[in-house]
Amino acid sequence: MEMAALLPRAMAAFALCDEDEEPIGFLGFWLMAPGAASVGMFATSRWPEIARAAHAWSLDIVVGTIFAASLRRVECRALVKNGVARRWLGRLGFVEEGVCAALGKGGESFVTCAWVNPNSIGAPNVQ
């Protein structure tokens, strides 16, 4: 089954593992509405060991294949103070749209980031 075929089932989840198949991170996304999804990711302190490979896989398979073939919009939130996550989302093609002040359990602020399919009607002209 093609991975893009998973989306009509409303959710997809992937364990991001090292060479020994030990899970280091988790990436999941779920439909919020037809053509629009939310994505989330978390990782252990070992993330730097797989970061480059995970980025290449995410850009090629997740964004380049699954998102591009199936979705108009994908969004997520990152802690405002998490510069590493925000930079990574930018490298994956996400754009910061706004701040959600005091959203976290302890009053932390988050930034909403979105990837908009460039082939979608109404997509912003992002250079």
Domain that holds residue 44: 3-116
Contact assessment for residue 42 and residue 28, using Cβ atoms and an 8 Å cutoff? no
Tally of domains within the chain:
1
User: Using CA atoms, how far apart are residues 89 and 5, in angstroms rounded to an integer?
Assistant: 24
Per-residue pLDDT tens digits for 88-112: 999 999 999 999 999 999 999 999 9
Beta-bridged to residue 115, according to DSSP, are 74
- Is residue 74 situated within a structural domain? yes
The mean pLDDT of the chain is: 87
Q: In this structure, is residue 94 part of a structural domain?
A: yes
Q: In which band, very low, low, confident or very high, does the pLDDT at 1 lie, cut at 50, 70 and 90?
A: very low
Classify residue 62: in a domain, yes or no: yes
- Is 48 inside a domain boundary? yes
> Alpha-carbon dihedral of residues 101, 82, 52, 127, nearest 10 degrees?
50
Residue 77 forms part of a structural domain: yes
The pLDDT of residue 67: 87
We report the CATH number of the domain holding residue 100 as: 3.40.630.30
Evaluate whether residue 87 is within a structural domain. Answer: yes
Strand order in the sheet with 23-33: 11-17, 23-33, 36-43, 73-79, 110-116, 95-100
